[in-house]
Amino acid sequence: MSIFKDQIAADVSAVFLNPDEFGETHVIDGQSVTCVIDQDSDGQFAGDMSDGVYVVTQRVSVRECDLAKIPKQGKRIDIDDTPYICLSISREMGMLVITVTENSSA
């Protein structure tokens, strides 16, 4: 690896996923992992706005090696006992970034 890639790999654990910095413990599909969850604060209404139902989208950044099973696009994933649908999975800067969605209400 290059020096830059080595530094990024070190920063993932030492900074980004460090519980004293950004990392938090969450339960993903029954497994406790350290990750960072970024919630889209701009909820979009689903269907008739008078129903009060809106879509919540979140991005979960986690080390691939910390997950026993990689979620599949379009399938259910439970995060902290809340069911979501996996919209996409990408590998970014040495981590998996899992984008999930759920319908919620006010």
Domains of the chain (ranges, CATH numbers): 3-105 (2.40.10.210)
Q: What angle do CA 82, 84, 87 make, to 5 degrees?
A: 160
Which of 28-32, 64-68, 84-88 is predicted with the least confidence, judged by mean pLDDT? 64-68
Classify residue 100 as exposed, middle or buried by CB count within 10 Å of its CB (0-12, 13-18, 19+): buried
Closest listed residue to residue 79, CA positions, set 22, 38, 49: 38
% of the chain exceeding 70 in pLDDT: 84
State the pairing for strand pair 44-45/53-62.
Answer: antiparallel
What type of residue sits at position 44?
Answer: Q
- Helix, coil or strand: residue 15: helix
Average pLDDT, the chain: 85
pLDDT for 23 beyond 80: yes
Q: Is the pTM of this model over 0.85?
A: no
What type of residue sits at position 61?
Answer: S
Closest listed residue to residue 66, CA positions, set 12, 22, 21: 12
Taking the alpha carbons at both ends of the chain, their separation in whole angstroms is 48
